[in-house]
Amino acid sequence: MKERRQALRIATLGRVRLQPIADDEADAARLRVAVRSIPDLLGPASLDESGSLGEERTRLELLQRMTCVLERIDHRLEAFARQQQGLSRPAFSDLIPLSLSATGLSGPFDLDEPPGALVEVTLDLIDPGLPLIPALASVVRGPADAPEKTVALRFEEITRDDRERLFRYAIRIQRHFLRRQREDDDT
């Protein structure tokens, strides 16, 4: 079982917005996760798609990618407008290295919350096929408990669609890594 868990954890790059949540705000944060999540219209792809079904899937995938790009643009415009008005809302981090799985993530986050604290997370994996992924996570390991100020977060609330997206993303990244490793070994 431990090998499978390690196999599904990947190293990637992404941007993260973290907002610590007070205990009395946890229920509202859980609702925001459900409301901000984009339903997965496509689901996992079938290996034997052909004909008009395959063409329809291609159209839907293109529309979903366009939606993801437009969503990122909306968030950047919103952040810019809030900044101009002097309103404070946590911004996305710069592109940082992440250790990611469908159950949580860790990275060099600027977060000083103790283990057990709740944090509202918005994850941007800079992938044209993935929307921003909202989640509610608990701090598993804080910067004081870890080397190099790494903070580990476990997802407490994430939609099934978003968890599946993270799983498929991890599998795709692993396939790409293994393919490159095989090509390097062959040369």
Query: Which pLDDT belongs to residue 2?
Result: 47
CA distance 42 to 179: 25
Specify the amino acid at residue 125.
L
pLDDT single digits (tens) 128-179: 778 889 999 999 987 666 566 789 999 999 999 899 889 888 888 888 888 8
- Residues 116-153, buried b or exposed e (16+ Cβ, 10 A)? ebbbbbbbbbeeeebbbbbbbbbbeebbeeeeeebbbb
Q: What is the mean pLDDT of the chain?
A: 80
Residue position matching structure tokens 């459900």: 34
Does 106 have pLDDT greater than 90?
yes
pLDDT single digits (tens) 22-53: 989 999 899 888 888 777 665 555 444 455 66
Q: H-type helices in 38-159, by residue range?
A: 51-85
**pTM score > 0.75 for this model?**
no
What is the mean pLDDT of the segment spanning 112-122? Answer: 92
Q: With left for phi above 0 and alpha for psi between -120 and 50, is residue 43 left, alpha or beta?
A: left
Q: For the chain, which domains are there?
A: 2-39+50-186 (2.40.10.220)
In sequence order, which residues have a C-beta less than 8 Å from that of residue 2 and are 6 or more positions away?
none
